Amino acid sequence: MSIFGEIIVSVLLLAAGFFGLVGSFGLVKLDQPMTRLHAPTKATTLGVGSVLIASMLYFLFFAEGITFHELMITLFLFLTAPVVAHFIAKAHLHRNWKPGDLPAPGGAKSWSVYDQADEAPADNPARDPARPGE
């Protein structure tokens, strides 16, 4: 049982290291802000998830028994990661994109980032229409 448990925990830790590394490498390698956002929201989830499962199994096999903290970390991670990604994307859209460069939402209204665009000051120095993807 103990050698079996050790193998499972080790495999999970190796997988976690691999996915964490790939996620971080993706941040460096991908060349547009929007594609770069994909690396930390996905690859890192499984990286952190594997560490947490390994930790749960370790405490189950070799220490005091079942712990819930890892489940809680997973829960909070799954709640916060999409929200943060959404806000980063929104801020990026607001500063660097124009509604005309995006597909239309289909209804009468525009995307919510641009809803009050005509009331906002027009001379936003951060917005550079010549380079929408940067």
Partner 1 sequence: MLRKVLPHPWLTLVVAVVWVMLVNVITLNAIVFGLILGIIIPLVTAAYWPERPTLRNPMMIIEYMLVVLLDIIRANIQVSLVILGKRNADLQPGWVTVPLELRSPEAITVLAGTITMTPGTVSSDLSEDGHALLVHCLDAPDPEAVVAQIKERYERRLKEIFE
Q: Which residues bind partner 1 (CB under 8 A)?
A: 18-19, 22, 25-26, 29-32, 34-35, 37-39, 41-43, 45-46, 49, 67-69, 71-72, 75, 78-79, 81-83, 85-86, 89-90, 93, 102-113, 115
Residue partners of 42: CB distance under 8 A and separation at least 6? 23
Radius of gyration in angstroms for the set of CA atoms belonging to the chain, rounded to a whole number: 21
User: DSSP 3-state assignment of 117?
Assistant: coil
Provide, rounded to whole angstroms, the least separation between the CB of residue 65 and partner 1.
Answer: 10
62 vs 78, which CB is nearer to partner 1?
78
Tell the smallest beta-carbon distance from residue 81 to partner 1 (Å).
7
* CB 134 within 8 Å of CB 36: no
Question: CA-to-CA distance for 34 and 31, rounded, in angstroms?
Answer: 9
Is 31 or 118 the residue whose CB approaches partner 1 more closely?
A: 31
CB of 109 to partner 1, least distance (A): 4
The residue (of 71 and 120) whose beta carbon lies closer to partner 1 is 71
CA angle 99, 105, 109 (to 5 degrees): 80
